[in-house]
A = this chain, B = another copy of it.
Amino acid sequence: MKRSEIGKAQERAAAMLRSSGIALTEHEIAHIEVAGFGLGELDIQGLELITYVNTDRYCAKELVLFPRQTCPEHIHPPIGNDPGKMETFRCRSGKVFLYVEGAAPTSIQAIVPPASEPYYTVFHEIELLPGEQYTIEPGIKHWFQAGDVGAIVSEFSSTSRDEYDIFTDPRIERMPTVMEDE
């Protein structure tokens, strides 16, 4: 991703957080993580994150999703003695559609990212409105998409080791490469 694109996404995420009444320090705003997953279509498949704390015992983040932006399907595998990341998503504003393994409805409310259909395989739907939350057990495939106005989601979890996440889409690189603008 180009540095200018990252900066633009950071500003957009910061504005959404601000209008939801979520206070951040200047340092946090300047370090909002923009994950494009190496797919080159940030507004469709991407995620903006602020990691508040990540210790060897617990982790807390704020996730920002632009309207209809999707975090692609993945699992958190076991690592050593860790059975894999367990995480609770709590919707703070907007609406989020979360998909996990299990019985699927005949049609879902999210729009699977075009040309990426083969990499979305679980469709048990959980709709989260502000104040609603859901806990994802370790080793469960999941993906999520914001509704039409975007979403802010608090993530409470065991220790986060994003670099070990396994994505269904083999093209995905979780850790970003930043390219300077020409």
Contact = CB atoms under 8 A, between A and B. Distances in A.
Contacts of A90: 52, 60
A107 interface: no
Interface string A120-134: 000000000111110
A59 B25 CA distance: 23
The complex is assembled from copies of this chain, and their number is 2
A177 interface: no
Contact of A57 (B20, B52, B158): B158
A130 B53 contact: no
Contacts of A170: none
Contact of A60 (B20, B25, B60): B60
Nearest to A137: B55
A21 interface: yes
A4 interface: no
Interface string A47-71: 0000011010111100000000000
B23 A135 contact: no
9 contacts: A23-B130, A25-B131, A53-B133, A53-B156, A55-B135, A57-B57, A58-B59, A59-B156, A156-B156
**10 A-B pairs with the lowest CB-CB distances in the bound complex, closest first:** A21-B21, A23-B130, A23-B131, A60-B156, A58-B58, A57-B158, A53-B88, A25-B131, A24-B131, A58-B158
